[in-house]
Amino acid sequence: MVDLNDKKLQNMSEIFTPYKLGPIELRNRTIRSAAFEGMGKNNAPTEELFNYHRAVARGGIGMTTVAYAAVCQSGISFDSQLWMREEIVPELKRLTDAVHAEGAKASIQLGHCGNMTHRRTCGQTPMGAVNGFNLYSPTFYRKMKQEDIDFVVKSYGDAVRLAMKAGFDAVEIHAGHGYLISQFLSPYTNHRHDRYGGSLDNRMNFMRECIREVVKAADGKIAVTTKLNTRDGFKGGQEVDELIEVAKELRKLGVDAITLSGGFVSRAPMYVMRGEFPTKAIAHYMPKSFWWLKIGLHLGAWAVCPTETFRHLFFLEDALKFKAAMPDYPFIYVGGVTTGEDARKVLENGFPFFQMGRAVLEDPDFVNKLKADENHCSGCTHSNFCVGRMYTLSAQCHKRCQDITPALEREVHRIEARNDRRERKAGYIK
């Protein structure tokens, strides 16, 4: 006999109940996070991108998020990223129509990479909050002038209007991970002495202008969410206390929900993704013309991108601090949700939605399987092979990748074994 008072069963059924997000309603509490797919070409959608998001929608997700789309050309960091412009709207509309036909909602993440690009990619000298040098490209980048700021701010509004035309139900504005808005927010990357630098209030001005433009363009017709760091993940970056104040400001600006993440891809990339940096996979798939970067990866990746041990719900401790400061606000949880138990714990702690990336890359049908079995566990082993591949080709789980070599397979298994030892040592698994 089923005990209807069993809290575990109640929480499981709660996962699969509808819930409102701003002006829209999702069929359940699950969201595919804006984990970069690497499935674009010439900054436009491809059939692979279409098929993947349709599969995730068919797999039971409440809403799937198409990853990073630059609001203007200067915000592109890879050819495989989207760039929001009129000519790609028909293909995006085909994608959202397919997602809707499967019963899910569709969101798109909008952003600007700031200094994390190269002239060859973005069509101009890269720009950021200040002047500097991007070691990864490598290239110099310049400080944004007022006219640059004004153009990018306007571009956010234009991108939202294009997203609405393409049939998206929501937009997620990327204000974390060391992208442009984050570069203005963080004292690590913002040393300006004008109205955009100095105090936290000043450092929020660029974000304010972008979000006001976004909210105005959305006009209450689609949901507006923001991805925000809980902390930058390294000494000298933003910490929890400051970012809680940023979250409060985003609420005042009219953002419907905030996804709480963390890390800086140019400074602490594994704080974002967790696990071991996939050096050999990145080097293997990188073009031969990048030989100098391949050498640099093998010599220095261990120092620049140190391992951050994966654990279940790795952002929960910090996310709860935001929840305590704003108890009636609908924060979206992301980070290490791979089992039914993880999902239940997130809801128990008052988060109405949770996002997943690698769990639905490893298996687009993950949510349906979770609904059928409350104890279902993702088969992702966090080798980060998918991360290593997405910078050159598309994100693929090693279990389904057709072009993985025997050497890379062996490396994946070695990383899986090291991850297992780290998790056991840290007490995350028995």
Q: Which tokens go with 200?
A: 């936290």
> 52, 68, 179, 196: which is the annotated catalytic residue?
179
Judge whether 65 and 32 are in contact, CB under 8 Å: yes
**What is the spatial distance between Cα 361 and Cα 56, in angstroms, rounded to a whole number?**
8
Q: Which tokens go with 208?
A: 């304010």
Judge whether 27 and 12 are in contact, CB under 8 Å: no
179 belongs to the catalytic site: yes
**What is the spatial distance between Cα 180 and Cα 75, in angstroms, rounded to a whole number?**
8
- CB atoms under 10 Å from CB of 375, counted, come to 10
Q: Which tokens go with 379?
A: 């088969």
**What is the spatial distance between Cα 159 and Cα 155, in angstroms, rounded to a whole number?**
6
Catalytic annotation, residues: 179
